[in-house]
Structure 1
Amino acid sequence: MRLVPSDRSHIPFLAQNMRAADVVESAADGWLPAEALGRALNSSLWALTAMVDDEPHAMLGVASINMLAGKGSPWMLGTERIYDHARIMLRKAPAILGEMHRTFPVLENRVSVDNARARRFLRRIGFEFHGEPIMVGGIAFVHFRKGASDSV
């Protein structure tokens, strides 16, 4: 697995092969997989694609929530195959998060309560879960956060 700068050419393969949990989360926001990937890529300061055997299997990045407050929104959408490379992703996570934290001292987003794999991964790379679940598009989500401030 190698990380490369993301571009729009990665979207079709990822959209056609997106993990069911990521499809559900995208649909809760009213987006089809390709729309979710395109919106995330367009709103991000930077994004990377995890390539496996020269195929894109995950796209991740960080978008601004509030530049003045130093809050960013990390995101990742991918295929089931990316979890075959979870150890590599765990090893790369500190450098990726470090780069995100260079711009945003606080990183926060939400994840489906039912997305156990993503929640486990987030916990392992240092995110904490806060608050009661909220409903978005009929799906329960929980807020996650990592960084210098716990103020909302």
Structure 2
Amino acid sequence: MVLENSIEEFIERFRTDAASGNLYPQPEGSVLLEFVAAGQVVYLFDRTGPYTAKPGPARVIVHPVLKTFSPSEIQEESLVVTQISALEGVGKITRTEKGFLIVQAKMPLVCGLLDHEQPDLKPGDWIRFETRPPTHGFYLVK
């Protein structure tokens, strides 16, 4: 399954699903964005270029790929960083697109699906999930 055709197309497609938070300065040559949102420090694989993201308040599309997911009877958002650039939590699906579940789990997550079948899930459903590292980050230029 192809999850994106280009960085620009992905950003335009999911711009409204960006998370608000703060970026810390990026060390020279680093491919990781240090993004703080929803009380978590998340390291994101920078998809928008090594010198595009500016430190300070920012909007970033947080794009993990799901490793596992299942319906959740728990209906309370949670999000935990389990290792560098990997997440797990519980969230509510806000919308679906072919190959994606957009999940609100303390912050909006544009979760990619590598399976060829779209799961039988709909907006309003709650899921428990675990992601594969790295989680990608698409910085939105103001």
TM-score normalised to the size of structure 2? 0.29
**Higher helix content, 1 or 2:** 1
Which protein has the bigger strand share? 2
TM-score (norm 1): 0.27
